[in-house]
Structure 1
Amino acid sequence: MHIRLKRFAGQLLFASNIFIAFLLLFENKLVIPFWLQTIGRMHPLILHFPIVILLIAMLMEFFRFRPENSANTFYRNFSQNLLLIGALFAGVTVVMGLFLSKEDGYGGQTLLWHKWTGAGIFFISSLIYWVRNKEWYKAPVAKLSSFVTVIGLVLTGHYGAALTHGENFIFEPISKQNEIAAVPLEEAVIFKDVIQPIFEQKCVSCHNPDKLKGELILTDVASIQKGGKTGELFISGNTELSLLLQRIHLPDEDKKHMPPIGKSQLTPEEIVLLSLWVKENADFTKKVIDLSTQDSLRILASARLKPSVTEEEFDFAAAEEETIQKLNTDYRTVAVLAKESPALAVNIYNRNAFSIKQLDELSEVKKQIVSLNLNKMPVRDQDLKSVSKFENLRKLDLNFTDITAAGLKELSSLKHLKSLTLSGTKVNFKDLQTQIGAFKKLGTVSVWDTELTAAQISILQKSNPQITFIGGFKDDGKDPLKLNPPQIKNTSVIFSQPTALLLKHPIKGVTIRYTLDGTEPDSLTSAVFDGKTVLINSTNIKAKAFKNGWFGSDLATFNFFKSTIKPDSVNLLFPLNRVHQAEGAHTFFDHRLGVIGANNPAWANNWAGVRDNDMTLVSEFKKPVLLSSVGLHYMIEEDTGIFPPEVVEVWGGPNAHQLKLLTRMKPSLPVKGEKPVLKSVEGNFKAETVSCLKIVARPLSKIPEWHRSKGGKALLLVDEMFLN
Structure 2
Amino acid sequence: MEEVIKYLGNYHILLLHLPIGGFIFTFLLYLLQNFLKENYSAPINFGLIFSFGSAIITSILGYILHLEGGYNEALVDRHMWLAIITTILIGITLYLHKKNFSKKIILSSFLTSQILISVTSHFGGSMTHGVDYLKIPEFENKTALVSYDSIHVFNQVITPIFDSKCVKCHNINKSKGDLMLTSVDQIMKGGEYGKIIEVNDSDKSRLYTYLNLPLDDEHHMPPDGNAQPTENEIELIKLWIDNGTDFENYFKIGEDDYSKEILNFLPKQIADVDPPKRSQLEKLIENEFRIERISSENNFIDIKFQGKTFKQNYFNLLSKVGENIKRLDLSFVDLSSVNLSKLDDLENLTYLNLNNTSLSSDDLEKLDLDIQTLILSNNDIDISVFEKFISNPINERVFAYNTITDLELTKEISANSNNKIYFGISLDDFASNVPLKTPIVNPIETLFSSSIDVEIVEDISKPEYRYTINGDEPDSLSTLYVGPINIDKSSNLKFKAFKKGSRPSPVKEIFYRKTAARITDFELLSSSVPPYAAENILSDNAVGSFDFRDGSWNGFLKSDTR
Give TM-score, length-normalised by structure 1. Answer: 0.31
Structure with bigger strand share is 1
Give TM-score, length-normalised by structure 2. Answer: 0.38
